[in-house]
Amino acid sequence: MKNIRGALAISTLMLGIASLLLAGCLVGDVERADILIPKSPPVSDLMDLPYGPSVGCSTGRSHELCGGSQTLDVYKSSSQSKGTIIWIHGGGFTRGDKAAFESAAPVLAQIRRGWSVVAVNYRLLYAPGEPSAPEAELASTGSESVQPHALKGFEPLVSDPVKVPFPAALQDVAAAMKWVSSNGGSLGLNTQNVVVAGHSAGGTLAALVGLGWNSSDPVFANVPRPDGWISFSSWLDFDFPGSWQLADLLSGDSTADPRLISPLRQLDPEDPFGYVAHGDRDTVIDVHHARAAEWIYSMGHMVNRVWVDIVDVDSAGRSLSADARWHSSGDGVNMGEFEGFLDSL
């Protein structure tokens, strides 16, 4: 596998260089005022609704302490109903919770424009072993409870972790989408226009749904087609050096070909439109993933089907915040372009 990966490293390096030379559907620099948008979630009484049997932790505790859950929160728009955005949290597939809206500010801002937001949890890669540890221990990340192959910085938060194989997380997102389709109408949601969106690992799941919905690979079985997909600071190309460890972790096989579960490898002309934003100084997930999206869409003559927003400076050439240029690209997206993308769906 080392020789194959060496070849992949060369090819992806050339891909990255080529992407800089091709004129893609690049989003212009953000206006300074556009980033001054709300970051706090609205209030809702539709919380922790189950879409599957795994309901996570008891009330008041973060579900990431229990290996995630199959639950969701609904934030309804009080204005005209343009559609529903399903928000998927990040956390390296091993942590995170729907209550944390990192990089979600542009999505939450759409509630005032007629979009409802459904924030979903999903089963994380690790669940607590038996017997379950006390709550104090669950909050600990002591070395004795960490799998040696876990991604650095995203170690499991559960005690005696037991792996929940991928594609459980992807299938959970698909199940949440179907729940929204079946039950959203009775809650006042517009289920005729459903967009999947996420940050980091959540953006990878959104891209897998948006690009893999019609794949013949059993990984994508039962994944419905969304009307659009949004990915902030996410893994999109597992061929890229530094992404192989994640591909191995997801597949559970250190000899697995990372291309098999790369979102961009699922691209075809029948896929819905997508929006990709990435900070140019992201050291968690390299900006190459956004550049790769631009290049692959260009090569397929489908460049008008994806918006690529490289978060770096505003329209006056002033640097955006360090967080936005790092791993919180949602805090620096071009809101005019982003809302134009949503309105085009």
**pLDDT tens digits, one per residue of 103-146:** 899 999 999 999 999 999 999 887 765 433 333 333 333 323 33
The percent of residues in the chain predicted with pLDDT above 90, rounded, is 45
The reported pLDDT for the residue numbered 160 is 61
Residue 345 scores a pLDDT above 60: yes
Chain centroid offset of residue 53 CA? 23
Burial string for 241-257 (b: 16+ CB within 10 Å, else e) reads eebbebbbbbbeeeebb
Q: List the structure tokens of 13.
A: 């390096």
Residue type, 238: F
Instruction: Count how many domains the chain has.
Output: 1
* CA torsion, ordered 124, 338, 343, 181, to nearest 10 deg: 0
Q: Please, which pLDDT band fits residue 38 given cuts at 50, 70 and 90? A: low
- Cis amide leading into 167 (omega within 30): yes
277-311 pLDDT, tens digit each: 999 999 999 999 999 998 888 877 787 789 999 99
CA distances (Å), 219 to each of 53, 164, 181, 251, 271, in order? 21, 14, 21, 10, 17
The percent of residues in the chain predicted with pLDDT above 70, rounded, is 74
The reported pLDDT for the residue numbered 178 is 98
Structural domain of residue 149, as residue ranges? 2-344
Residue 186, domain CATH = 3.40.50.1820
The rounded mean pLDDT for the chain is: 79
More confident position, 187 or 29: 187
The reported pLDDT for the residue numbered 299 is 79
The reported pLDDT for the residue numbered 145 is 34
The reported pLDDT for the residue numbered 117 is 96
Q: What pTM did the predictor assign? A: 0.83
**Neighbour-count burial of 52, counting CB atoms closer than 10 A to its CB (0-12 exposed, 13-18 middle, 19+ buried):** middle
Ranges 12-26, 113-127, 290-304, 328-342: which has the least confidence: 12-26
Contacts of 169 by beta carbon, 8 Å cutoff, 6+ apart: 68, 93, 122, 123, 124, 125, 201, 205
- For every residue of 81-146, DSSP letters joined together read --EEEEEE--STTTS--TT--TT-HHHHGGGGGTEEEEEE--B-SEE--SSPPPHHHHT---GGGS
Q: Please, which pLDDT band fits residue 179 given cuts at 50, 70 and 90? A: very high
51-78 pLDDT, tens digit each: 999 888 776 677 877 888 999 999 999 8
Strand ranges in the chain using DSSP code E only, listed in sequence order: 46-50, 71-75, 83-88, 115-120, 126-127, 162-163, 194-199, 228-232, 274-279, 306-311
Contacts of 309 by beta carbon, 8 Å cutoff, 6+ apart: 26, 27, 275, 276, 277, 278, 290, 329, 333, 334, 337, 338
Rounded Cα distance, 91 and 157, in Å: 11
229-286 pLDDT, tens digit each: 999 999 998 877 777 667 777 766 555 566 677 899 899 999 999 999 999 999 999 9
The reported pLDDT for the residue numbered 182 is 97
The reported pLDDT for the residue numbered 170 is 94
Torsion sign over Cα 59, 64, 67, 70: positive
Contacts of 9 by beta carbon, 8 Å cutoff, 6+ apart: 241
